[in-house]
Amino acid sequence: MLAMVLSFFDQFMSPTYMGVPLMALALVLPWILYPTPSSRWLDNRLITLQSWGIFQFTRQIFMPINPEGHKWALMLTSLMVFLLSLNMLGLLPYTFTPTTQLSLNMGIAVVLWLATVLIGLRNQPTHALGHLLPEGTPTPLIPILIIIETISLFIRPLALGVRLTANLTAGHLLIQLIATAAFVLGPLMPVVSLLTMILLFLLTLLEVAVAMIQAYVFVLLISLYLQENV
């Protein structure tokens, strides 16, 4: 039983080849798959669709943000494409999903969250510190609310990283469990195995949606933190 549980979690181990970690290769590979726009007036359909999707995403994310925050457009759009690519490639068989590693997600979340906080403290320190104490707070509750708001501020990057890791990990485990059940039930109960395979197909479609939504939510929350501090 213990060996089976360990085998389920083997897919989340960082792959190595001759003792060399392949995490860097897994992070670089998605960028190779995207076509590079040319200097021609007319591009092919794939590049046109890619440019249209990036434009729509950037406009939707940065519409409520002040022009001062538009400097982050390139970074957040690239992050969205990067996370979306990693999440989608991780659904392919015999692949590794780097975004199931909490260390990677926390590294991205903490750096970007800290950058938004530092920008707020540099540009408008009074407004940034004002978030720690809501207006009209009774005097006896001031110390308690400052502590609560400070804790909630520092929990933000943890919530970002854990949300992305937990959703992808849970989805991959469910897919592996149902696929194992369908394989085992095949010789014993073919009808039940067929129903399980249908469920597996539907779950895979759900995981495709989760992979896209989680990448979008991660970048959206970073943009909301940026909006508070710009």
pLDDT tens-digit profile of 108-164?
999 999 999 998 888 887 877 777 777 777 778 778 888 888 888 899 999 999 999
- 39: exposed, middle or buried (Cβ count in 10 Å: 0-12, 13-18, 19+): exposed
- pLDDT at residue 1 is higher than 50: no
Alpha-carbon distance of 4 to 2, in angstroms, equals 5
Average pLDDT over residues 46-68: 86
Residues 6+ apart with CB under 8 A from 97: 12, 86, 87, 89, 90, 91, 168, 172
- pLDDT at residue 167 is higher than 50: yes
**For residues 100 and 111, is the Cβ–Cβ distance under 8 A?**
no
Q: Which pLDDT band holds residue 102 (cuts at 50, 70, 90)? A: confident
Q: What percent of the chain is predicted at pLDDT more than 90?
A: 23
C-alpha angle 178-204-83 in degrees, rounded to nearest 5: 125
C-alpha of 10 from chain center: 21
Higher pLDDT among residues 6 and 212, named by residue? 212
In terms of phi and psi (left: phi > 0; alpha: psi -120 to 50; beta: otherwise), the region of 94 is left
For the entire predicted model, the pTM comes to 0.84
Alpha-carbon distance of 137 to 145, in angstroms, equals 8
Residue keyed to tokens 């990036």: 54
pLDDT in tens, 19-54: 767 777 777 777 777 777 777 776 778 888 888 888
Residues 6+ apart with CB under 8 A from 229: 116, 117, 119, 120, 121, 123, 124, 128
